[in-house]
Structure 1
C-alpha cells in the first residue's frame, strides 16, 4: 500500500487510543440483547478505521472512504455510524 505512513498519521488524528482487541483472537463476542443490537462499539469503529486504512491508496483516499462510511466525527464530535 502506498502512503501507509500518511494513512496512519491521518488515523491517529481521529483515534488517539491504542486499545487491544477484545474477544477471542480478535473476534468480537456475540451481542446479548435486542436493546444494543444496533449499537456499534468504539472498538468496532476503531477496527473499521484500521481496515479502511489498510485498503486505502493514500491519506486522501482514506479520508474519503472514512467519511462515506460514517467513521469521521461530525461537528458535535459524534460518529454518524453510532447514532
Structure 2
C-alpha cells in the first residue's frame, strides 16, 4: 500500500476512542430489533479499508462509499 502513513493520519482524524466488544457486523435486516454497528466495529472496518487503500484519496472515497466516514454530527452513516 502506498502512502500508508498518510492513510493512518487520515484515519486518526476520524478515529474515536475504542469501546469494548467487536466482531464482524451481521447484515442489517431493517428491523427495529436489529443490532447496531458498534464503535469498535466501525474502527476495525476503517482500519481494514486503510490497509487496502492506495492512498489518502482512495481511502476517503472508500470510507464514504461504505458509510464509514462520519458526517457533520460525528456519526458514521453505517451506525444509524
**Larger Rg over CA atoms:** 1
Unaligned segments of structure 2, at least 5 residues: 27-31
Q: State TM-score, norm by structure 2.
A: 0.78
Runs of 4+ aligned residues of structure 1 deviating over 3 Å after TM superposition are 19-23
Q: Which residue pairs with 2:13 in the alignment?
A: 13
Q: How many residues align?
A: 75
Unaligned segments of structure 1, at least 5 residues: none
Residue of structure 1 aligned with 2:54, choices 37, 53, 57:
57
- RMSD of aligned C-alpha atoms? 2.6
Q: Which residue pairs with 2:71 in the alignment?
A: 74
Compared with structure 1, are the counterparts of its residues 74 and 62 closer, same or farther at alpha carbon in structure 2 (3 Å cutoff)? Answer: same
In the alignment, the residues of structure 2 paired with residue 82 and residue 53 of structure 1 have an alpha-carbon distance, to the nearest angstrom, of: 19
